[in-house]
Chain A
């Protein structure tokens, strides 16, 4: 789950990384007095999970006299169609130089990866494309609790030494917060010291509970409902509803629809051992999606029993046509039940997907 800027900055501050003085203002707050305390010159930043919010008008300059009015204006607006519920009012700092620092997971080595560059303030992908040699990379052994001094010296490569402690503090944040990404961009030097001018932290969804986070905000309402049932669900924008078991097979089903010229409406993995009730929920969830004209169920039973799946499909009783491909445990019973109720059964995944594409 992605944290918002102010949440990331609170974590950085707790870890000892200096952040600009700031105050969070929510819609309806009487902001003026508090915000004016921050400083004569301030920045007002929309707290939304949207890339490029600055260019889209989500970051505005203000002073102590105008801060209330500017904050109110942002709070009533939508940036890239996302409503702004809170803004961060921060002191304006005088930046001397901008750096980029991030820690993520290097899949090849299965280890934390630190990236640092003196060309900060822009997208790291941009630097990687135009000036890859400017990025210093260091893989840290996962059992190390601190970044070694020689690694920090290597990463800094002549950048001010006062940035060194920030690298280690961010590494502690990365580890202790179960982060997939901990990023400071830009990390800035100013006449009064080093600051994290912006911060981004993504928490591992598998560790939300032990991080004390009860709800994953990144999900849409329908995705959240699907999660309650234990499904993996992603909304796409086509007309063919897809239910599969196992992430890979479900993805391959979605892909095959596209290869054969159709448009998938979603990705829904019911998970292993799905029973009658879960299957019924899944079919009904897709049946309730506007724009879904046909549903394909592609299940390969191992632990999953085909007769349970068939019962679930029949229970769901949705108005759209449901095309089914079932293979595995108790396949015959499942087929018999569906045949009796007039459902269309096909033998292979490819036949089932072709049929769904034709109907849609």
Chain B
């Protein structure tokens, strides 16, 4: 597994909102089923002393860290406050922040991610479904019932696309080692290349599925340096230029990031690219 395991003790930032409390419950249900630590505390400024989904809530990350010896956070705070919350977690010494929040201004993301990097805090996301290592831990909002333990790593810019592929893999009898949603924003903490590096050091991972989309060239950067066999899918081949396809990062601008040319470049590097999602299990089966 990568980034986190059964023993990772987690806080949730934005613990008392609808999303926060609902997902504390779901994450802890999963932790219970696999015998993990799960979410031990929550943070919402001004709501210290309350409880959310059975865990105590604190006013600041530092207070939660002092009381519970935690090392990681899952974040559900609203967009305009999220950059600040990432820096707060990094300052309190957390090693990992999984930022689920979408619609964070990109200038805030740039500042928060570079600040977290200086504090040796790893940021996954923002605008992502999180991280799920089957049998170990769920940090985020992924529907865990679709997942099974196995040798395939998945890295994705999109939530539901991830679930679709995990569902297909599971139905084809192919389990997953870890599944990481890196997020659909133009600037993200962990990139394809970063997560691939983690997978290459993980003895349980034998092959990786990269689920990319139009915009930027992070897929190519990652696939280029992969030690493990990879299969790539790129969404957005029919997207018109200059239109944002749902994700803030899914836009072709200044001629950069067009899905079809991305696919062409990946293929020219000898990397298998699935033209339909349904092809992925077949391609992966040849590798593991």
The one of A236, A248, A251, A257 in contact with B156, judged by C-beta atoms closer than 8 angstroms, is A248
Stretch in B32-40, B200-208, B240-248 touching the partner: B240-248
Q: Is the CB of A248 within 8 A of B141?
A: no
Q: Which residue of B lies closest to A129 (CB)?
A: B255
A22 at the interface (CB under 8 A from B): no
- Given known pairs A255-B236, A303-B141, the reply for A248 and B107 (CB within 8 Å) is no
Residues 209-224 (chain B) with a chain A CB within 8 angstroms = 211, 213-218, 221
Q: Is the CB of A206 within 8 A of B104?
A: yes
Q: Is the CB of B235 within 8 A of A248?
A: yes
Please give the distance in Å from B145's CB to the nearest CB on chain A. Answer: 9
The size bracket of the interface on A is: 35 or more
A112 at the interface (CB under 8 A from B): yes
Q: Please name all residues of chain A whose beta carbon is closer than 8 Å to the beta carbon of B92 when the two chains form the complex.
A: none
Please give the distance in Å from B132's CB to the nearest CB on chain A. Answer: 12
Residues 152-170 (chain B) with a chain A CB within 8 angstroms = 156-164, 167
Please give the distance in Å from A326's CB to the nearest CB on chain B. Answer: 13
A289 at the interface (CB under 8 A from B): no
Interface string of B254-282 (1 = CB under 8 A from A): 11000000000000000000011110000
B287 at the interface (CB under 8 A from A): no
Q: Please name all residues of chain A whose beta carbon is closer than 8 Å to the beta carbon of B215 when the two chains form the complex.
A: 107
Residues 86-100 (chain B) with a chain A CB within 8 angstroms = none
Q: Is the CB of A300 within 8 A of B160?
A: yes
Q: Please name all residues of chain A whose beta carbon is closer than 8 Å to the beta carbon of B75 when the two chains form the complex.
A: none
The one of A204, A209, A246 in contact with B159, judged by C-beta atoms closer than 8 angstroms, is A246
Q: Is the CB of A234 within 8 A of B245?
A: yes
Interface string of A97-109 (1 = CB under 8 A from B): 0000000110110
Q: Please name all residues of chain A whose beta carbon is closer than 8 Å to the beta carbon of B180 when the two chains form the complex.
A: none
Q: How many residues of B contact A (CB 8 A)?
A: 61
Q: Is the CB of A178 within 8 A of B160?
A: no
- Given known pairs A107-B218, A206-B105, A252-B161, the reply for A302 and B142 (CB within 8 Å) is yes
The one of A205, A207, A234, A249 in contact with B243, judged by C-beta atoms closer than 8 angstroms, is A234
- Given known pairs A206-B248, A327-B167, the reply for A246 and B239 (CB within 8 Å) is no
Q: Which residue of B lies closest to A144 (CB)?
A: B114
Residues 166-205 (chain A) with a chain B CB within 8 angstroms = 175, 178, 180-181, 204-205
Please give the distance in Å from A46's CB to the nearest CB on chain B. Answer: 19
Q: Is the CB of B237 within 8 A of A302?
A: no
Q: Please name all residues of chain B whose beta carbon is closer than 8 Å to the beta carbon of A259 when the two chains form the complex.
A: 275-276
Q: Please name all residues of chain B whose beta carbon is closer than 8 Å to the beta carbon of A181 when the two chains form the complex.
A: 253
Please give the distance in Å from A182's CB to the nearest CB on chain B. Answer: 12
- Given known pairs A107-B186, A125-B255, the reply for A247 and B275 (CB within 8 Å) is no
Q: Is the CB of B111 within 8 A of A143?
A: yes
Q: Which residue of B lies closest to A231 (CB)?
A: B246
B225 at the interface (CB under 8 A from A): no
Q: Please name all residues of chain A whose beta carbon is closer than 8 Å to the beta carbon of B142 when the two chains form the complex.
A: 302
Please give the distance in Å from A204's CB to the nearest CB on chain B. Answer: 5
Q: Is the CB of A110 within 8 A of B113?
A: yes
Q: Is the CB of A245 within 8 A of B218?
A: no
Q: Is the CB of A348 within 8 A of B161?
A: no
Q: Which residue of A lies closest to B214 (CB)?
A: A251
- Given known pairs A247-B245, A249-B160, A259-B275, the reply for A142 and B80 (CB within 8 Å) is no
Report how far A207 CA is from B82 CA in the complex, Å.
Answer: 13
B3 at the interface (CB under 8 A from A): no
A124 at the interface (CB under 8 A from B): yes
Q: Please name all residues of chain B whose beta carbon is closer than 8 Å to the beta carbon of A245 when the two chains form the complex.
A: 160
Q: Is the CB of B163 within 8 A of A302?
A: yes
Q: Is the CB of B217 within 8 A of A107?
A: yes
A6 at the interface (CB under 8 A from B): no
Q: Is the CB of A124 within 8 A of B248?
A: no
Q: Is the CB of B161 within 8 A of A210?
A: no
Interface string of A102-122 (1 = CB under 8 A from B): 001101101110000000000
Q: Is the CB of B244 within 8 A of A251?
A: no
The one of A141, A175, A206, A300 in contact with B103, judged by C-beta atoms closer than 8 angstroms, is A206
Q: Is the CB of A236 within 8 A of B238?
A: yes
- Given known pairs A206-B79, A349-B277, the reply for A249 and B164 (CB within 8 Å) is yes
Residues 121-144 (chain A) with a chain B CB within 8 angstroms = 124-125, 141-143
Q: Is the CB of A236 within 8 A of B240?
A: yes
Q: Is the CB of B161 within 8 A of A175?
A: no
Residues 207-241 (chain A) with a chain B CB within 8 angstroms = 207, 209-210, 232, 234, 236
Q: Is the CB of B238 within 8 A of A210?
A: no
The one of B104, B115, B157, B248 in contact with A248, judged by C-beta atoms closer than 8 angstroms, is B157
Report how far A111 CA is from B117 CA in the complex, Å.
Answer: 13
Report how far A104 CA is from B216 CA in the complex, Å.
Answer: 13
Q: Please name all residues of chain B whose beta carbon is closer than 8 Å to the beta carbon of A244 when the two chains form the complex.
A: 160
Report how far A125 CA is from B218 CA in the complex, Å.
Answer: 20
The one of B105, B157, B233, B276 in contact with A204, judged by C-beta atoms closer than 8 angstroms, is B105
The one of A107, A204, A206, A248 in contact with B161, judged by C-beta atoms closer than 8 angstroms, is A248
Q: Please name all residues of chain A whose beta carbon is closer than 8 Å to the beta carbon of B233 when the two chains form the complex.
A: 252
Q: Please name all residues of chain A whose beta carbon is closer than 8 Å to the beta carbon of B247 when the two chains form the complex.
A: 247-248
Report how far A250 CA is from B245 CA in the complex, Å.
Answer: 9
The one of B156, B164, B167, B246 in contact with A232, judged by C-beta atoms closer than 8 angstroms, is B246
* 20 A-B pairs in the complex with CB atoms less than 8 angstroms apart: A125-B255, A142-B110, A142-B114, A143-B111, A204-B106, A205-B244, A206-B104, A245-B160, A247-B246, A248-B162, A248-B213, A249-B163, A251-B158, A251-B250, A252-B161, A252-B233, A258-B237, A300-B160, A300-B164, A328-B163
Which of A's residues lie within 8 Å of B, judged by CB?
104-105, 107-108, 110-112, 124-125, 141-143, 175, 178, 180-181, 204-207, 209-210, 232, 234, 236, 244-252, 254-259, 264, 267, 269, 272, 300-303, 327-329, 348-350
User: Which 4 pairs, one residue from A and one from B, show the smallest C-beta to C-beta distance?
Assistant: A248-B158, A247-B246, A246-B160, A248-B161
New A-B contacts (10) at CB < 8 Å, excluding given A254-B239, A302-B163: A107-B186, A125-B254, A246-B160, A249-B163, A252-B164, A258-B238, A328-B163, A348-B278, A349-B278, A350-B277
